[in-house]
Structure 1
């Protein structure tokens, strides 16, 4: 019996679409103008070229490959932006093309913690949640209503440091600033101070420390979305994350229950939980979904962790640079003391007149932005950036730390020189891409005013009330500025200075 054979013309007909498709793929690859980047290895891509301090590794690579650079971090194509011009393209011109968020590692049973304003993918839910944050939680009126809390807590901090000054021992400013910002954030968010939270204070401190440590971790699932969760489970990271958020969940539930039992505050005295519970009670719709308790807890998590860490880090870096530069320290102290006179503590109404202090804060944000890489974005469509093709599902990092040290923008960029902002229009509110500590565009931080007020008020009072001396045997050049790895970049070793009450 003869074997059946397929006619040649039929084989050609079957393979013709495949040939055409292969030619199109090759043509597309030839036509792609991808951003430059270093050679990559199989599977891991460029991960082996990223050190402990990611922002510094990316900065060094950008010096060779340019301010728009494409890396392959595991299975994720990642665009690194390291210049003000490119940041403007990404955050303003193409804001809508790349304002979504990539899925984050660790999502599990308590995954609501990633559904908040910072991490939600772009869409109707995000737009409505941001509207709530901007109009209700961080409006100018709401921020002003918390002024007495900020001033009370700063006054308590000053008295506390004054008591310690009698011993002549150094004060750990990292510890003191974290305690200050935690108290302010707790009172504005929950109506209770950190020390009166209802939880064991030592355990609460451990919860915060663990949460900050987890934010600093590198999750395999961030680089290998399809299988990295297995590695995170084996290393114990996933379990730690679940335990941490379960503890915070218990805490948030307790303070919510306390608010419900008390009946809430009058509208002009509301804290953030009161506001969110009122929105829930009034059945305000968030897009097509009603605001739920999980959404409320998500917002609280974002507000609490972001509010405590970033402001404390900025104050410590500012005091570090002032201690290393006695001329600048003296100039800032003279300004504050001459304006305030004998009245004692600085109030928020004084801050607008302290122009040099504001330059000190700007210069601190330039050299030491708390979030050195803005929270990553994810592209949603094709667009051109500096002539290069950018494709959907590309992760985008803006290296604001590198931009702050760009010699094309800043003269003597490594020098702490607040006077560079005299007669300069550059600000940090998202309109000037040379200085982006709070981001820009649709994803700009909605709590800029709150964060800056905390920093300026605390710093002004530290400078007004105390003279600061280095511990015995230490010189200005001995103060280290080494950074610790993390989501936010703090000093590796806490700043310790000796406070002397100014007479």
Structure 2
């Protein structure tokens, strides 16, 4: 049943007879709480979220300011919508605000007790973070895996050339997803998880997108804990189904790897992937890394690596097809630096300022994580003269900051040129522009995402012209979003590649 419809029914049934009894409960417990809209009995401010909470809360912040208080059911929520407040939360008070508000849907298969994304800062979190940093995302490790990325990009180009020959329309989000997914899966397991135009690609994309949507969907069971057993929206049941598919795949891969490790044969050479490293660590004496932690770490890396990079590429291509003059300029800049026939390499990224500006503008205009991952306050903390209460959910609305005209000129226009003579970067130090977050919870996969998004975009722009489907005008391209933990394009972008 639709989330808003459930809210209206719940409100109608209980509001009339319980209003006077609970009216005092919804008065602010502290005059020092940040300003915000007055909460209704029982449901608080839930009706204000709408279908696109990032947009609704951005609009509310214009009335109530850069730090805002809402009551979402029983959950006290703080919304930050300015670089100054983001810096307070993610830098100055990072230690107090570093934990996560874990949704009920992430409790499936005890994912929240082993997943890097949801764990509180502690020894287990530090161990998993260190593994990612040392064995996946260092400069040295990324250099060693460069040939792998070139192989996946060549597969992308080969598929698009085939589509050119057959005059076949391309779902750009899907081909970006398959490319990203296979890069991650080969890095983790030395196998491809999907192939272009395959059922496996559709199934895996549906599973990953489904989980990301569920994790970000406003859930009555989170706002009213008494409803957790009922699961009124069925989100936890959906989460169990998606997790079941993914965990079964990983369990099978790990079991097969363990069997092969037990066979000493020249026909079974040692794999040079992250799974091999994790199993080695697991079998060390006094190891702190359990089997469950291995599986859930792999789930986190697959979810974060495949989904967000593909979404960014699809949004960037949407804007280029809506703005042919920007597409033409991007092509010319690539051609001038790379040449006609040479393929873009990772060492070329630093020589391509317009491509980098294009990607930055996409991160600003279409951040795939509009609230990052929600934080949680470990204790009462004062910010800007207001009290952020202990256990409050903290949302940093980076979508609102990216559209703020007091920060960006022509904020509602897609203009890569704004970053050409601008030293602002997304590495977590410039708080007006933090698509990967900042502080200790900054996305550990940022170095890999930086490389992959630039290389995929360069391959799509440099090697092909693009034509929209008959009857579709550039200005008519759909920009509607599908809200979740990441912002998907509601209507897939499809176009014809031309040699």
Under a length normalisation based on structure 2, what TM-score does the superposition of the two structures give?
A: 0.88
Report the counterpart of residue 247 of structure 2 in structure 1.
Answer: 249
- Quick one: distance in 1 between partners of 2:308 and 2:113? 19
Structure 1 SS opposite 2:387: strand
Report the counterpart of residue 456 of structure 1 in structure 2.
Answer: 454
Q: Which moved more, 1:134-143 or 1:322-331?
A: 134-143
- Quick one: distance in 2 between partners of 1:253 and 1:29? 49
Report the counterpart of residue 277 of structure 1 in structure 2.
Answer: 279
Question: Cα deviations across residues 115-147 of structure 1 (Å, max 9, x unaligned)?
Answer: 221110122322232222222232222222221
**Any conservation in 2 of the 1:107–1:114 contact (CA below 8 Å)?**
no
Report the counterpart of residue 423 of structure 1 in structure 2.
Answer: 421
Q: How big is the alpha-carbon RMSD for the aligned residues of Structure 1 and Structure 2?
A: 2.4
- Quick one: distance in 1 between partners of 2:269 and 2:336? 39
Identify the match of residue 474 of structure 1 among 460, 464, 472: 472
Structure 2 SS opposite 1:92: helix
The answer on 1:193 being equivalent to 2:192 is: yes
Report the counterpart of residue 360 of structure 2 in structure 1.
Answer: 362
Q: Which moved more, 1:54-63 or 1:215-224?
A: 215-224
- Quick one: distance in 2 between partners of 1:322 and 1:284? 53
The answer on 1:165 being equivalent to 2:167 is: no
**Any conservation in 2 of the 1:155–1:345 contact (CA below 8 Å)?**
no
Q: Which moved more, 1:327-336 or 1:134-143?
A: 134-143
Structure 2 SS opposite 1:497: strand
Structure 2 SS opposite 1:411: coil
Count the aligned residue pairs. 468
Question: Cα deviations across residues 168-218 of structure 1 (Å, max 9, x unaligned)?
Answer: 34321112111111111111111100138xx96665455335434433433
Report the counterpart of residue 265 of structure 2 in structure 1.
Answer: none
**Any conservation in 1 of the 2:467–2:495 contact (CA below 8 Å)?**
yes
- Quick one: distance in 2 between partners of 1:29 and 1:212? 33
Please report how far the alpha carbon of residue 107 of structure 1 lies from its aligned counterpart in structure 2 after TM superposition.
5.1
Please report how far the alpha carbon of residue 336 of structure 1 lies from its aligned counterpart in structure 2 after TM superposition.
1.1
Q: Which moved more, 1:454-463 or 1:377-386?
A: 377-386
Structure 2 SS opposite 1:71: strand
Write out aligned runs for 1:59-458 (5 A).
59-106=58-105, 108=107, 110-112=109-111, 114-195=113-194, 203-224=203-224, 226-232=225-231, 234-263=232-261, 270-283=272-285, 285=287, 290-458=288-456
- CA distance 1:421–1:244, shift in 2 (3 Å): same
- Quick one: distance in 1 between partners of 2:431 and 2:295? 32
- CA distance 1:470–1:73, shift in 2 (3 Å): same
Q: Which moved more, 1:297-306 or 1:176-185?
A: 176-185
- CA distance 1:356–1:109, shift in 2 (3 Å): closer
Structure 2 SS opposite 1:141: helix
- CA distance 1:478–1:201, shift in 2 (3 Å): closer
Report the counterpart of residue 10 of structure 2 in structure 1.
Answer: none
Question: Cα deviations across residues 398-456 of structure 1 (Å, max 9, x unaligned)?
Answer: 00000001111100001111111122111011011111110001100011011111100
- CA distance 1:354–1:248, shift in 2 (3 Å): same
**Any conservation in 1 of the 2:108–2:236 contact (CA below 8 Å)?**
no
**Any conservation in 2 of the 1:45–1:73 contact (CA below 8 Å)?**
yes
**Any conservation in 1 of the 2:78–2:393 contact (CA below 8 Å)?**
yes
Please report how far the alpha carbon of residue 471 of structure 1 lies from its aligned counterpart in structure 2 after TM superposition.
2.4
Under a length normalisation based on structure 1, what TM-score does the superposition of the two structures give?
A: 0.88
Please report how far the alpha carbon of residue 223 of structure 1 lies from its aligned counterpart in structure 2 after TM superposition.
1.3
- CA distance 1:55–1:283, shift in 2 (3 Å): farther
Structure 1 SS opposite 2:100: coil
Structure 2 SS opposite 1:323: helix
Structure 1 SS opposite 2:372: coil
- CA distance 1:163–1:470, shift in 2 (3 Å): same
Larger radius of gyration: 1
Report the counterpart of residue 24 of structure 2 in structure 1.
Answer: none
Report the counterpart of residue 22 of structure 1 in structure 2.
Answer: none
Structure 2 SS opposite 1:195: coil
Identify the match of residue 483 of structure 1 among 461, 481, 497: 481
- CA distance 1:500–1:112, shift in 2 (3 Å): same
